[in-house]
Structure 1
Amino acid sequence: MRTTRTFMLASAVLLAGTFTAHADINIAVNGPMTGGEAAFGDQMKRGAEMAVADINAKGGVLGQKLKLFVGDDACDPKQAVAVANKSASDKVVFVAGHFCSSSSIPASDVYHEAGIIQISPASTNPLLTEKGRWNVFRTCGRDDQQGTVAGNFIADKFKGKKVAILHDKTAYGKGLADETKKQLNKRGVTEAMYEAYNKGDKDFKALVSKMQGAKIDVIYVGGYHQEAGLIIRQSHDQGYKPQLISGDALVTDEYWKIAGPAGEGTLMTFSPDPRRNKEAAGVVAAFKKANYDPEGYTLYTYAAIQAWVNAVNQVKSTDGKKVADALKAGKHNTVLGAIGFDKKGDVTGADYVFYRWKGGKYDYN
């Protein structure tokens, strides 16, 4: 009887050890799965799902499969903190997220305390990485880079024109508008109007009339695709056709659905299209075979997971600080190409170009 019990106990220990060795590694993609920015949440989710499927098909990470959790913050700061806490309770070791800077910044405090690596594919407000958190990274550029490109472009291409700068009061929108304004002013251009609106506003007729009365030639919008689309559509409805310029929050086909033909000629800044990268060719083909075009931040999310996996494999551990050191130590092969991170966690070599909307599609030369 004693021998039987000893055998059973030994077997249980062996089985428990076997189970632990093959337990899943929990990661998450957290972003706006519902709400006004849900189109971007869908991009992130699809990118994460494809990355996890591809990695697991090749054997996973450290001999274990990745298990993906999906968190919905609806681009709301308070909800983002709740989602971050849920990730911590789920024993997540890595988060690809969030989308909105106003979500990523407060959520980063939770991840820092929990020792979770956070790589945002989309949050561009400089404060995200300026807080000095060892665990925070991004695969996208920053608003001070994007704003500099936009400010120089407007100063060079629209000399003598009246410029209005609008923003939606969010960390992203106001941050981008202010960086663009800063560069314009540095170039000796003073904006004719600087106005704020509320994210979620639908009626811009009064604002449009004010700009039309002031004979504004160029409208720069620091904000998201919904409001930008409504502003230009309602401008055209009033017989007023200014040049609309904005940032990377317009990289979704949803913009054209809102703006319609009034969106023709809209200019926006975004990084060079990763769908054109030779490193992304196979992944892009797989997405298109599934009848999905991996636009916007789809591949930036895929790349965030690739970079994390590469660092984990290098240090043979999911320990946050070890992985963070590996992320900053060298280059990581991704669908964005070989990327690295500086000591703040910003991706190195980030660049912005101008895209133009034409016939319902956006592209750059």
Structure 2
Amino acid sequence: MKTSLLAGLALGLLMAGATAGSAQAQIKIGLAAPLTGNSAAFGAQLKNGTVQAVEDINKAGGIKGQKLELSIGDDASDPKQGVSVANKFASEGVKMVVGDFNSGVSIPSSEAYLDAGIIQVTPGSTALKFTERGNWNTFRTCGRDDQQGAVAGDYLAAQFKGKKVAFVHDKTPYGKGLVDETLKAFRAKGGKEILIEGINPGEKDYSALVSKLKQANTDAIYFGGYYTEAGLVIRQMRDQGLKAPLVGGDGVVDKELVAIAGPSAEGTLTTFPPDARKNPNAKAAIAAFKAKNIEPEGYTLYAYAAVQVLAKAIEATGSTDGKKLADYLHQGKPTTTVIGDIAYDKKGDITRPDYVMYVWKKNAAGTVDYTGNELAQ
């Protein structure tokens, strides 16, 4: 009887250990993105990319036999909501996070992640401040506003030399930061702006701004902000007979720009990294997206790459501890991803930043798009 009891106890302990082992075989990863609000199209890109990367890694056996378990939080492009999502993830035991998208959300949420020991990789926050504060936990798979602004400023100075260029931003950390950096490069090349204006995101009527731009005989407008407001400004400029092109940054790069601006979107210029869909490393991932009728545009593959970066760090360190993962990434060892090899400096910025200028024009199907329309620099 005693032997049977001991055998049963041993079996029970073994089963308990197996259950605990199974529970440990899940690595909790979070996605924080604007699934609602005025950046929801970008939130969809981040969700598509992250979900597909997690699926593909798990299908291939996970990381050292452990599967990724994804939690998704909607920050609604709101800083307070972003911090709430961060606190929720921390309470759930999430070890690492892809997100947020908006710099104005990523910056405050990163402080909450820092307190919780969570590493954060943003696919789309370009504000300098995100990685300039000395926090160990902040990384990105995209470039920065100063790199993007340099390309835009140089382009404006060369292409609109002696012309009247206006600068408009949406007062967000991203939009204003991008205008500031573009202005630096523009002025350094001899450019002189005719006016700088701030708008309130979420408004529908920008006729007062358009009137001011018309009165100043503006030849080009540089816009720091997102596709929602950019589309409205473009449409209202054309409605009032102002034909000056709008030049914007990566926050404008989504097909929703055309849905809002209509045919008037043609001729818009935007800075964005070289099209990741052309990268040979992305071939299998793109096939998986296509099978779901998803076009991996914009930041979709940048979110996918963020998961790959985190997976490689776990594989290399054998740990899910945020600080250990960050220490590994800060070493600058390259990770092969769908957007190319990524290596980090001590701040958490990628060491191969690159932006090009695109022009939006009609493709063979008659749809206005930026795809394949990279301008020679």
Considering the TM-score relative to the shorter chain, is it more than 0.5? yes
Q: Which residue of 2 aligns with 1:335?
A: 338
Letter in 2 for 1:105: I
Within 2, Cα distance between the matches of 1:199 and 1:133? 29
2:213 maps to a residue whose letter is M
1:32-59 Cα offsets, whole Å, 9 max, x none, are 0111111111111110110011000111
Sequence identity (%): 54
Cα shift at 1:240: 1.3
C-alpha deviation, 1:327, in angstroms: 1.5
Q: How far did residue 4 of structure 1 move?
A: 4.3
Alignment of 1:1-365 (within 5 A): 2-23=2-23, 24-329=26-331, 330-359=333-362, 360-363=368-371, 364-365=373-374
Q: How far apart are residue 214 of structure 1 and its match?
A: 0.7
Aligned residues: 365
**5+ residue gaps, structure 2:** 363-367
Aligned equivalents of 1:59 and 1:218: distance in 2?
52
What amino acid maps onto 1:291 in structure 2?
N
C-alpha contact 1:271 1:352 (8 A) present in aligned 2: yes
Amino acid at match of 2:45: Q
Summarize deviations over 1:94-146 as a string: whole Å, max 9, x none.
10000000010001011111111100000000100001111110000000111
Cα distance in 2 for partners of 1:8, 1:168 equals 68
Partners of 2:3 and 2:170 in 1: CA distance: 73
Which stretches of structure 1, 4 residues or longer, exceed 4 Å deviation after superposition?
1-5
Q: Is the 8 A contact 1:22 1:63 kept in 2?
A: no
Amino acid at match of 1:121: P
Asked if 2 retains the 8 angstrom alpha-carbon contact of 1:81 and 1:106, the reply is: yes
How far apart are the structure 1 equivalents of 2:163 and 2:7?
85
Deviation, structure 1 residue 183? 1.4
**Could you tell me how far 1:273 is from its partner in structure 2?**
0.6
Bigger CA drift: 286-295 or 19-28? 19-28
Partner amino acid, structure 1, of 2:345: D
Letter in 1 for 2:18: T
Aligned mates of 2:291, 2:237 — CA distance in 1: 39
Across the aligned residues of Structure 1 and Structure 2, the Cα RMSD in angstroms comes to 1.1
Match of 1:189, as an amino acid?
Answer: G
Of residues 138-147 and 58-67 in structure 1, the stretch that sits farther from structure 2 once superposed is 58-67
Q: Deviations over 1:212-263 (max 9, x none)?
A: 0110111010000011111010011011111110000111100000011111
2:61 maps to amino acid: G
Q: Distance in 2 between matches of 1:8 and 1:64?
A: 29
Residue pair 1:120, 1:139 contacting (<8 A) in 2 also: yes
Indicate conservation of the 8 Å contact 1:44/1:301, yes or no: yes
| SS of match in other structure, 1:22 | helix
Deviation sequence 1:282-318 (CA, Å, 0-9, x none): 1112211221110011000000000110111011111
How far apart in 1 are the matches of 2:296 and 2:65?
Answer: 29
Structure 2 letter corresponding to 1:334: T
Work out the CA distance in 2 between the residues paired with 1:224 and 1:336. Answer: 23
TM-score by length of 2: 0.95
| Alpha-carbon separation, structure 2, partners of 1:323 and 1:16 | 29
Deviations 1:171-200 (A, max 9, x none): 110110111112112222221010001111
Deviation at 1:2, TM superposition (A): 4.6
TM-superposed deviation, 1:162: 0.5
Q: What secondary structure does 2:330 align onto?
A: helix
* Structure 2 residue identity aligned to 1:106: P
TM-score, structure 1 as length reference: 0.98
Q: How far off is 1:22 after superposition?
A: 2.5
Retained in 2: the 8 A contact 1:26–1:68?
yes
SS at match of 2:360: strand
**SS in structure 2 at match of 1:229:** helix
